[in-house]
Chain A
């Protein structure tokens, strides 16, 4: 058997249960996503004119109901797709080093290898290849489902289902793999490492998400409030509602509450007042309702940006793992 073949067979044997469990999960999820996509496309083909939520068609009062009911169930699958990179990354990454240490085989494995870094690289490479292949399947299935669920939207320029479709899922999985490998190497015990990795992943990805949200605000534009903007139907990424005060300052509702300013009424022109009796008195207006939106055409740029950040984090985690493995005792 060739060296590559030996590497594949040995690596698979060491991670057999985890690879099979991940593959089974991906197979089930993908099958469900494709089934829902097929059902949605079939329903959409019967009344294509009824599915544009921005256009009212009188004849379409009842007909899109089955489509939208199926659509909301399909959206639940997209959340499973969102969780898949984190779950699979940790399940494949944690046992790579920690199981060897826990079972006291690390000493022999590291001694037989030319270097610990080389040993780690070969082990992580297998897990990364498996993860990339499986997550690509999920990412593609998510895109198919998304386009079936939103047939009237141009998803290449649309923030709909952000993080739940496309290449970003693969990069997130690699970062989760890095977290798993690092914590597995540090703790040397499978289950404690998994426990800590869940918290660490939540923390790391929350920090990245908050940081990206701050960064993305620099690309946002302030628009007049509208139902379309609020629901994201125009393809933009809705960042939140704001209040434009009379002074021109833009604040959020939390800031208003902290300043002790209460808003009870909003009129048809989205002007805000403290009391119902103030409506019709422009001088008593508190401000106007606004929304913060990132335009849809920036979607590819934002995905690339976040992929770079998350990919950089994955690289750092990998390097940290190599440093830990190089220095730690095998037992």
Chain B
């Protein structure tokens, strides 16, 4: 692709690209600052707690609660980034040309409509992936320095949809979907609303599907007995938990909480609320160590979807009238 094609693609969506670049830079810088601050605050808290044996007078300023709140906002921004990028950069790619009645000339001047679409879309695809990846990296830092967890080594499934590799993968699929809808509906704003509705339906369906798949492969995960301070979570590696159950130590049989109470009532529970004798409480879920596997699986599904929408976009652009 020539430099002229890149410059034209940038000029056609200059305002949107500049707005998104500015927003992404702000979000990434904010994420890094929050991560650094949270890490420092948590280190100070831990040092005070270890020295005094109590958390009295170990408050930091800003507090761990403050960093947790700010981190939450950063994660929301990261979660929304793929959708905002994909919709606002994808819809006008074709829709603006059709609405502005310049599609006819543009398609005529190009060797083929497919070539025109690829030349217009490719620079935007690259920019979307880079921007989403940058936001994903910033969000990864925020997750790993969560002041109320110990995720530095392995956050597992914590903030699964708002950090790391999932952001550029999702952004790519949303972008391609938005291009297709923009090519079908010749007005930008209605196309944006429709693309938004389709994206929402798609990702709700995907979320339900992945959850169902995970539930089918869920396994018992023992609570980490060494973690005595549950303010920072009962697990060190961020598993995805769907349920809790009791495992009979003698037989290894797993009994869900409902079945357990139906079978034994409350008689087995010790008065101070401790675990019933002969049973170990376990979580049912996917261990955090399998995060990479599931990211790969979801990326494969989304990658397949990306291929289908690319084909659809080419078909729609080749067949539709330019006006």
Query: A: which residues have CB within 8 A of B?
Result: 17-18, 21, 91, 94-95, 102-103, 187, 189-192, 194-196, 199, 254, 256-262, 264, 274-275
Chain B residues near A261 (CB-CB < 8 A): 57, 59
Q: Taking the complex as formed, is B289 at the interface, i.e. its CB lies under 8 A from any CB of chain A?
A: no
Give Cα distance in the complex from A191 to B187, angstroms. Answer: 11
Q: Which chain A residue lies CB-closest to B48?
A: A260
Interface of B toward A, CB cutoff 8 Å: 15-16, 19-20, 23, 54-63, 65-66, 84, 88, 91-92, 96, 99-100, 187-190, 192-193
Other than A191-B96, A260-B57, A264-B55, give 9 A-B pairs with Cβ distance below 8 A.
A17-B187, A18-B190, A95-B189, A102-B96, A187-B15, A191-B188, A192-B15, A196-B19, A199-B23
Once bound together, how far apart are the Cα atoms of A265 and B57, in whole Å? 14
Cβ of A194 and Cβ of B19 under 8 Å apart? no
Asked whether, in the complex, the Cβ of A191 is within 8 Å of the Cβ of B192, the reply is yes
What residue of chain A has the Cβ atom nearest to residue B57's Cβ? Answer: A260
Main DSSP-derived SS at the A contact region = helix
Which one, B19, B23, B54, B100, contacts A103 given CB within 8 A? B100
Chain A residue with the shortest CB-CB distance to B18 = A192
Task: Select A258's contact among B63, B99, B189, B190, beta carbons within 8 Å.
Answer: B63
Residue of B nearest to A256 (CB): B59
Nearest CB of A to B175, in Å: 14
Chain B contact residues: over half helix, strand or loop, or mixed? Answer: helix
Most buried by A among B56, B66, B99: B56
Whether B54 lies near A17 (C-beta < 8 A) is no
Could you tell me the distance in whole angstroms from the C-beta of A103 to the nearest C-beta in chain B?
6
Which A residues are in CB contact (< 8 Å) with B55?
Answer: 262, 264
Q: Of A192, A258, A264, which is within 8 A of B59 by CB?
A: A258
Q: What 10 A-B pairs are tightest by C-beta distance, nearest first? A: A17-B190, A192-B15, A257-B63, A262-B56, A257-B59, A260-B59, A258-B61, A260-B57, A190-B188, A274-B56
* Residues of A contacting B91 in the complex (Cβ-Cβ under 8 angstroms): 191
A189–B20 alpha-carbon span in the complex (Å): 15
In the complex formed, the residue of A with least CB distance to B91 is: A191
- Complex CA–CA separation, A256 to B60 (angstroms): 11
Cα A274 to Cα B128 in complex, Å, equals 51
- Nearest CB to that of A103 among chain B residues? B100
Please give, as numbers and ranges, the residues of chain B lying within 8 Å of A190 by CB-CB distance. Answer: 188-189
Determine if B57 and A262 form an interchain contact, defined as CB atoms under 8 angstroms apart: yes
Query: By the criterion CB–CB under 8 Å, are A21 and B193 in contact?
Result: yes
